[in-house]
Each structure stands twice: as C-alpha cells, then as structure tokens.
Amino acid sequence: MPAGPAGQRLQLLFEGVYMNAEVWVNGQSLGRHPYGYTSFWYDVTDLVKPGVTNVLAVQVQNEGINSRWYSGSGIYRHVWLTARAPVHVAQWGTSFTTPEVTAAAAQVRAATTLRNASAQAAEVMLVTRIRNAKGQEVAKTESAQALAAGATVDVAQRLSIKSPERWSVDRPYLYSALTEVRQGGRVVDQVETPIGVRTISFDAQNGFRLNGQPLKLKGGCIHHDHGPLGSKSYDRAEERKVELLKASGYNALRCSHNPPAPALLAACDRLGMLVIDEAFDSWREPKNPYDYHLYFDQWWQHDVASMVRRDRNHPSIIMWSLGNEIPERGKPAGVKTAKMLGDYIRGWTPPGPSPPP
C-alpha cells in the first residue's frame, strides 16, 4: 500500500462470498460473515501498513448441504478497497425517494448518513445536486451540519425537479444524484447515486400501478448463476441476462432466492426491468441441514439491513420479498416472524435508523 493522505479511512467491501467467510488483514481477524448473498464491509485503517506488503486472507467454509440450487463457492462477486476522508458519507448512506410526482414537478426526499471517524468535532456543508441524463444540473440543496467526534448523523433534505422525466419499463430515464461533503470550503467526500423519478402503488382495484398507470408484471424467477459461466458475477453477463429476458417480453424479475449482484440491479435500472428483491430461502426451520436457519436469529437484522440499504435507491425495485416457500408459513410463528421482518424493512425508510455496528 502506498502512503496516502493523513487521516484517511480504508474500507474493504465484499459484494458476496459464499459462504461462512472469515477475513484477516495482516493476521488480525476482522470477523466472519455467514450469509453468501449479502454484501459486507470492514474499516481496515488501523491494520493496513503503508509502504510494505500487506496480507489479506479470506477463508470460506462451504460445508454440507446448504442450498437447493447451484450456489458456487468462494469470492464470486467484486471486492473493493476504498480510501475515504475522516468525515464522509457512510457506506450505503444515501437514500432518495420521489413521493410526489406530477408533470410540473417531482419532489425528491434525500436522506444522507454522515460519519465523523476523526477524534475532532467537525463542521461540514452537505451539498446534494441532481443532474439529468445530459449532465445538466436540475436541482440543488445544501445543509450545514455539525458532527461530534466519532458521531454518525442522518441529514434530511428536499429538492424539486421541474418537468421531470419519469422512469418506466419502456423509457428507463435515469438522473444522477451527487452528494458532496464540504469541509473548510473543500470537497472531502462525494458519492454519485443513479436515481429514477417514478411512483408505484398496489391496491385491490387497480393492482400494481407504475406512474399511475396499471401494469401487469410479465416475467419470472432467476437464480444468480450464468449457465456455463458458473456463479461468478461478471458485469457483462448480468447485463446480458437482463437484455435477453427483456427481448423475450419480460418486464419483471424476482431474485430467487436471495439478494442479487449489484451489477444485475444496475442493468435493470438502465434497461427498464422491474425487480422483486428477495432476502432468504429459509428462516428458523431448515430445508437443508446447513442452510440459513443456523444463522437466522443472530444475523437476520444485519442481512436485511445490508440488502435494503445497498439496494434501496434502484428505481427498478418495486417490492421486497421476505423469503421463499418458508416452512413456517401458515403457522403462528411464521406470522410473527413475517411481521418482524416487514416492520424492520419499513423502518429503513428515510431518514431511517443509524447503521448497525
């Protein structure tokens, strides 16, 4: 590692490791992550030594029968090492919704989680800009914010886009939201988030409506593998999968039975494919001896938060699925667990709770 600016924080993010991963940096364990389909990250600042060779080790324990489909094994999605300023936007710390959309204007609610990882209090300016597909700025707002040393805060903002272009399956128009953290007049951190302006609703009379218009979901359920390419997530393979299904008449996908790779959701945003993002294939009762039921009670909050916080800005996502063919369905325990999961997901709507430790 080359020596970087003083005070920078290093973050190590895994998009997916199947399964039971434990991670070490220079012989120091960072922890373990059982679920093979949710993304996870660590702050490795204090363990990485500049100017010398550092050793990153990942052990995967994929033992026993733990899946009902071909899961693959090992590090099958991207791994990222990023350097952040001490005061920065937290991992998956941006949230954008469009609760009110008319032909004249779209009201955009932005919620940003800021983190001060330094030992000193900080005064920052949070600037949020929205640009159209041509790169032209169409909305801007800024908020002054004080952060105590070591603090994490949620900042709510509102913006308005005049004469908005709406995201739809036939015209998947994307805006870009640029979130900037300014300290002493200088940009110290920024995050770019693709967003779509659209409204969705479900009711007994009209079914599903996108932008106020009834729309039937025509699609199917997909697994994460790519046939002869195996389970490794190649960005182009994720995109090609969506292209082929779109050309076959699909307008909707269900990610069975787990959160997908980020590249697939990005392709759905660009190409106009609706998505049902699914959390689990089992809760407390097993389908296989070594599946997720072994970890549910200890890990469900962490994994649900990872799914929702990572994926919540995708305009393609219209629904969160709590699970697939759950053995507890139809039982009092299943009703209780479903309500617990649903309430927790709804709790992540802006501004949402602070990130889990």
Q: From the CB of residue 5, how many other CB atoms can be counted at a distance below 10 Å? A: 8
DSSP state of 353: P
Integer Cα distance of 37 and 152 in angstroms: 27
Pairing of strands 252-255, 219-222: parallel
User: Which residue in 262, 259, 105, 254 sits closest to 193, CA to CA?
Assistant: 262
The two three-digit tokens of residue 196, written as one number: 């779509």
Query: Which are the catalytic amino acids?
Result: 325
What is the C-alpha to C-alpha distance for residues 5 and 8, in angstroms, rounded to an integer?
6
CA angle 14, 279, 245 (to 5 degrees): 85
Cβ density class 242-270: b for 16+ within 10 Å, e for less = beebbeeebbbbbbbbbbbbbbbbbbbbe
From residue 319, how far is each of 277, 328, 348 by CA, in Å?
6, 21, 14
